[in-house]
Structure 1
């Protein structure tokens, strides 16, 4: 049992010392970076975030001389939705929702 207590105490001392040294190094680096006007731990812009998905473009104006301009516009919008889904801009659920809105509206 004394060996176990000694091992636990040694581990606690090593861990405490490592934590203290790490904190001191971090504080020293922050001080140096602050003097240079750079703070790596401060607020940062998320440059890795993906841009928000593009909104579905409005339907094009109906062309004259077509038999059913409303249906042509719907077909064109469905094609655009399909392209957005193929590009990964729209998820399957978003695609289905927009498709139903077009077909029912």
Structure 2
């Protein structure tokens, strides 16, 4: 009775094989989870990079729009300044011109008040 019989050997082999299969399955699941986590992290990093690029593109587009708007304002203001009467005796025209410059943002409130005071005397 020192040696196990055929059934005992088969039973022990089945237990060892089942244990090996369970351990192998657990290792496989853990590796799959790690790989999925790494893949998910890579996707998250890619998403964040795309978002940063999109935000930068939007900022550049806003800057370009603001620059175009500023250039347009400057073009509108240039003819108004040049259209000042040469004689300069028409007080109402000068006041209207100052008001337009203030509305366009060329003059601050303080500058407008000072210029108006100078015109009025």
- Larger RCO (CA within 8 A; separation ≥ 6): 1
If you compute each CA radius of gyration, which structure gives the higher value, 1 or 2? Answer: 2
Q: Larger % of helix: which?
A: 2
